[in-house]
Amino acid sequence: MDVLADVLAALRSGAPVAAQTEAHAPWGLRFDHTTGAAFHVVLAGSAWLAPLPGEAGFEPVELGRGDVVLLGRGVPHALTSAPGTPLVGFRPTRPSTATPFGRVSLPGPGARTTIVCGAYRLRRHRPHPLLRDLPEVVHLPAVPGRHPGLRALVRLLDDELAAHPPGAAVVAPSLVDALLVYMLRAWLSESAGTPGWSAALADPVTARALAAIHGDPARAWTVEQLGAAAGLSRAAFARRFTALVGEPPLTYLTRWRMTTAARLLRETDRPLAQVAPAVGYGSAFAFAKAFRREYATTPGSYRSAALS
């Protein structure tokens, strides 16, 4: 069971949105809050990433060619050619359906910078620990030898947008779609050893338990059974899982069951009598009660809202 892939499949909502930005100094762009995660890929030139003027937040970050940045909480922010440059709103246009992304062009007398700017749509009701642990800013600089897969993906994206070969309108969005996985892999590897979701996936004991839960969420798991699957006693496993994941094993099990149920309601037409046993409930009534406790609405109302 690929736990990271399973989590992303449940959290993502639709395709990412992106725009190719070409700006000549001096320039400044303002990005409003997004409910998902914002990202920027510097393909040429340089830029500064900073909180909006007058707002507290992260420290300004200088970005160079090949740098990638993920704003996991979608906080408002600015991209500029230099600190203090006046800002305009980020308002991409779509010249034609043949172009893979929207476009932003900022003329000026100075040096040129090309950036792919965009956002991933992520569901944030009762945020999964993966989203909870993401910092405001994940900066992945283009350092030789680090994260070769991410570096290769950025080069491919640069080639597609620079040369516009046949099929670029299909390939470029797919590369941006895959970019989220590569950014998260890089963040997980860099934050390994610190408490949180990255440590939980890196820890073989907790990773085995998570794989068991994700592989069979319908099973009537007990803490003792999960501990046995992970190779630890009940008490030792419970302490370790809670310390790394941030919540007890059965609390996470319920969270994942409800996340899976929400996905089934959104993406299938299976009746509640089939959804309930798929996520470990013996009756539609018991499932509906648990779902309402988590989502503050009935499964039927949730499905109707998702389809509207």
Q: Is the pLDDT of residue 205 over 80?
A: yes
C-alpha distances in Å from residue 81, one per residue of 55, 75, 87, 293:
19, 20, 10, 48
What confidence tens digit (pLDDT) does each residue in 15-57 have?
888 999 999 999 999 999 888 899 999 999 999 999 998 887 8
Residue 97: predicted pLDDT: 65
Q: Is the pLDDT of residue 98 over 70?
A: no
Percent of the chain clearing pLDDT 70 (strictly above): 98
Residue 238's Cα: distance from chain center in Å?
27
What does pTM read for this prediction?
0.88
Pairing of strands 77-80, 17-24: unpaired
Full set of structural domains in the chain with CATH:
3-190 (2.60.120.10), 203-307 (1.10.10.60)
More confident residue, 161 or 182: 182
pLDDT band at 234 (very low <50, low <70, confident <90, very high): very high
Rounded to the nearest 10 degrees, the angle between the axes of helix 249-267 and helix 3-11 is 50
CA distance 218 to 276: 9
What confidence tens digit (pLDDT) does each residue in 119-136 have?
998 887 777 888 888 889
What confidence tens digit (pLDDT) does each residue in 65-85 have?
999 999 988 899 999 999 999
In contact, 124 and 115? CB cutoff 8 Å: no
